[in-house]
Amino acid sequence: MKTKVGMVGVGIMGSHMCANLVKAGFDVHAFDLDATALARARETGAIPSADLRTLAARSAGVVISLPDAPALRAVCCGDAGLISHLPKGAVVCDTSTVDPASARDMAALARAAGASFLDCPVSGGPPGAQAATLTIMVGGAADALERARPVLQAIGRKIVHCGDSGNGQAAKLVNQALVAAHTVAALEALLVGRKAGLDLDTLFSILQTSSGRSWMLENHLNTHALAGNYQPGFALDLMFKDLRLFVETATQLQSPVLIGATALQIYNAARAAGNGKLDQTVVARELERMSGATLGVLSKS
């Protein structure tokens, strides 16, 4: 008999997770407010659920993929929410990126209902979600993680237990802060080089084999900002949200984040310019405007 797993949120990331859970042999019941997204999930072999109550009652475990903490609370809390209708012993794996405090609140709510809640934010983007190679940062009880491990292994390659509830989210925010910092620093440095008269291809070639190289430069900037392509791999609105959560968390912890706070304002400027739905590397446009230089694009050769 197949293990029944719920999948709440089948958007850009969740749709790939849903498909991989089906491929792994789980009996997947999906829910999303977007009827089109739910129809696509059905095409991959998932069974649409009419509401969260129905999905919860059918599931030994649930994977959640949502954009922010308000959406997570709306799904989990209240009489119509997910947690109050879960079977005893069920485990919720939340792959959304939210603040650590929200993760701890959901974990406490689940414990009171006789279930478990793991914060399981992921890194790897849509390509990693599609290939089931995500890195998964887990906060919560170790025994709950072991019960949920077969589910998580269907959607990711590296699963790291970070400690108590909220710690998975804290680890993800650290990662996101570095993504933003590396993005802004690379673009800023390249613009100085361009103003000095250097060719973009020459600069990129040098950095690929020098100590200034970075994963973001070689695996994302090269296919987006430096290719003139701002179709979202990861939307600027989402990066702004994650970076804001990082700065807020650091402030609560009384830990200075001078670079993170500065990067946040650059992302905020790009968001104010109406670029929130575009790829997060669209911050290049704001940096170009401030520097009075143009990056150009890498040659296709």
Residues catalogued as catalytic: 172
Closest CA to 166 of 118, 110, 123: 118
61 CB-side CA count, 13 A = 22
Whether the Cβ atoms of residue 226 and residue 200 lie closer than 8 Å to each other: yes
Distance of CA 138 to the CA centre of its chain: 13
**Cα(138)–Cα(152) distance, integer angstroms:** 10
Whether the Cβ atoms of residue 4 and residue 27 lie closer than 8 Å to each other: yes
Distance of CA 290 to the CA centre of its chain: 29
Q: Using CA of residue 204, residue 206, residue 209, residue 212, what is the dihedral sign? A: negative
Task: State which H helix or E strand residue 62 sits in.
Answer: strand 61-64
**Cα(96)–Cα(84) distance, integer angstroms:** 20
Main-chain dihedrals φ then ψ at residue 97, nearest 5 degrees: -105, 115
Whether the Cβ atoms of residue 176 and residue 246 lie closer than 8 Å to each other: yes
